[in-house]
């Protein structure tokens, strides 16, 4: 399908599409709900990786009726996953997991987002695609650039990888109810400006 890569690319004229990315489960769930996983796979191609924790979360999610479309990822053999967290990150992972966990939450609740940010920083990914609040804060604190799923959808529209209608469906699924088409248009305009 694609050659996986998680190091900074050379300038190749592909704009944002060529940036190396680590992704949490959120974009896969939203694109699945919009029935656009093949478009996401084609756009990110070999430039995206998931941690083992996220891969496990996606496999669990595929067992639900709502997200059965996640089986596409397994059939496509995409996205590739990273190696396990290296020993030097495991203590940090446990510390962040304890800090993020709320009372009555399972230990694995924030595992994907924490592992994603730590591996993104460790491997030198250009950007992490993550929606969870704790993950956003952790990315900022670890100095990792971040995109939300809504921003990724806008970027894909700006680069012609999604139609406006498809992009808005993903955007709408990824944002609070009060966000609307005007917000989507602004996000697409920002993505267009950043891609130039």
What are 104-127's pLDDT values in tens digits? Answer: 888 788 999 999 999 999 999 999
C-alpha separations of 138 from 142, 152, 153 in Å: 6, 19, 22
Contact 28, 58 (CB under 8 A): yes
Can you give the pLDDT at residue 193? 87
123-169, pLDDT tens digit by residue? 999 999 999 999 999 999 999 999 999 999 999 999 999 999 999 99
Structural domains present in the chain: 15-195 (3.40.50.1010)
Contact 24, 129 (CB under 8 A): yes
18-27, pLDDT tens digit by residue? 678 999 999 9
Band of pLDDT at residue 17, cut at 50, 70 and 90: low
Residue bearing tokens 């796979």:
41
Quick one: tokens of 26?
């959120």
Question: Rounded to two decimals, what is the model's pTM?
Answer: 0.88
Residue 14 pLDDT exceeds 90: no
Beta bridge partners of 129: 23, 147
Residue 6 pLDDT exceeds 60: no
Question: Do you find a cis peptide bond into 79, omega within 30 degrees of 0?
Answer: yes
Band of pLDDT at residue 16, cut at 50, 70 and 90: low
Check residues 7 and 74 and name the one with the higher pLDDT: 74
Q: How far apart, in whole angstroms, are the C-alpha atoms of residue 194 and residue 185?
A: 14
Burial 150-178 (b: 16+ CB within 10 A, else e): bbbbbbbbbbebbeeebbbbbbbbbbeee
Band of pLDDT at residue 13, cut at 50, 70 and 90: very low
Beta bridge partners of 81: 50
**DSSP secondary structure string, 130-186?**
---HHHHHHHHHTT--EE-HHHHHHHHHHTTSS-HHHHHHHHHHHS-TT--HHHHHH
């Amino acid at each position: 399908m694609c050659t996986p890569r998680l190091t900074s690319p050379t300038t190749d004229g592909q704009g944002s599409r060529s940036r190396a990315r680590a992704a949490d489960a959120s974009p896969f769930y939203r694109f699945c709900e919009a029935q656009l996983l093949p478009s996401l796979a084609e756009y990110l191609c070999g430039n995206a990786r998931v941690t083992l924790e996220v891969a496990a979360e996606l496999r669990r999610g595929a067992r639900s009726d709502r997200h059965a479309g996640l089986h596409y990822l397994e059939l496509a053999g995409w996205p590739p996953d990273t190696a396990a967290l290296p020993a030097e990150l495991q203590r940090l992972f446990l510390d962040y997991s304890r800090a993020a966990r709320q009372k009555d939450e399972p230990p694995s609740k924030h595992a994907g987002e924490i592992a994603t940010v730590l591996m993104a920083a460790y491997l030198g990914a250009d950007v992490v695609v993550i929606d969870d609040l704790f993950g956003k804060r952790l990315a900022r604190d670890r100095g990792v650039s971040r995109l939300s799923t809504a921003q990724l959808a806008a970027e894909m529209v700006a680069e012609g990888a999604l139609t406006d209608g498809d992009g808005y469906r993903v955007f709408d699924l990824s944002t609070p109810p009060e966000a609307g088409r005007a917000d989507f248009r602004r996000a697409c305009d920002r993505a267009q400006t950043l891609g130039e």
